[in-house]
Amino acid sequence: MPIVLPPRQQQLLDYLTRKVERHGQTPSLRQAAADLGVSHAAVAQGLRTLADKGYLKRPGRYSRTLHLLTPAGQVAAPHRLREIPIVGRVTAGLPIYAQQAWEGSLVLDGGVFTEPNLFALRVSGDSMRGAAILDGDLAVCAPRQYAANGDIVVALVRGEEATVKRFFLHPDHIELRPENPRYSPMRYGFDEVLVQGKVVGIQRGPEGIDHQRNERRTSNIEHRMMNKEDEETGV
């Protein structure tokens, strides 16, 4: 059972808990140091101490995944957390240039999103509205270089444009199909499309991570709906 913490360590634990529960993300060491008025090294040491005392769990010393623990040493249900990078933006309308720089991170329920190496992309546009993917959503993606017909994928088009669409392979071309009748399907040669990932869930809200708690139930339902589609299509 975790032992009683001295004031400074309790302050750090309370700070981490507030950040996760209110904003859906764990802060960077630099942000935590600035908010708490201490050094970067002090925060790093504090995290190691909290882990040693059984208040949190990190898979590795430098892991971006953080689990807050119950007094019994178990991962608390609301805190089965994993942190994934938000990588640039993609469009669900007309493709835009694929940015490579990280734009922050997204904290997910690790009990729902279990696949390794997940990443998130922010969606712009409404062409996937019929699949419950809206403008401003964060698409949670599993890295893939292949896709089955009907999968919702992140595809890189002509080496520089990224888009979220349903994937269909035809004898003479690849079709990227929107889920909005206002948009027409896009057809490309086999050498023009590179699948980057499969969309496995959605986090909703203007800021994505800031609204994670309110949207957790909706996102989990959408995640299960996508899995059901996979079962029906034999994926």
Tens digits of per-residue pLDDT, 141-189? 999 989 999 999 999 998 888 899 999 999 999 999 999 999 999 999 9
Contact predicate 139/163, CB 8 Å: no
pLDDT for 193 beyond 90: yes
pLDDT for 124 beyond 70: yes
User: pLDDT band at 60, cuts 50/70/90?
Assistant: low
**So what's the pLDDT on residue 110?**
74
- Same domain? 74 vs 90: no
Give pTM, 2 decimals.
0.57
Rounded to the nearest 10 degrees, what angle do helices 40-52 and 7-23 cross at? 90
Q: Which residues contact 67 (CB under 8 A, 6 or more apart)?
A: 56, 57, 58, 75, 79, 80, 81, 110
Higher local confidence (pLDDT), 86 or 74:
86
Structural domain ending residue among the three candidates 22, 48, 79: 79
- Same domain? 34 vs 98: no
Q: Which of 57, 105, 127, 198 is catalytic?
A: 127
State the Cα angle at 8 between 7 and 13, rounded to 5°. 95
**So what's the pLDDT on residue 220?**
42
- Same domain? 41 vs 102: no
What is the number of domains present in the chain? Answer: 2
- Same domain? 114 vs 205: yes
Q: How many CB atoms lie within 10 A of CB 63?
A: 12
**So what's the pLDDT on residue 40?**
86
Q: Is 165 a catalytic residue?
A: yes
- Same domain? 205 vs 160: yes
Contact predicate 70/56, CB 8 Å: no
High-pLDDT (> 70) share of the chain, %: 67
**So what's the pLDDT on residue 57?**
76
**So what's the pLDDT on residue 234?**
39
Q: Which of 105, 165, 198, 219 is catalytic?
A: 165
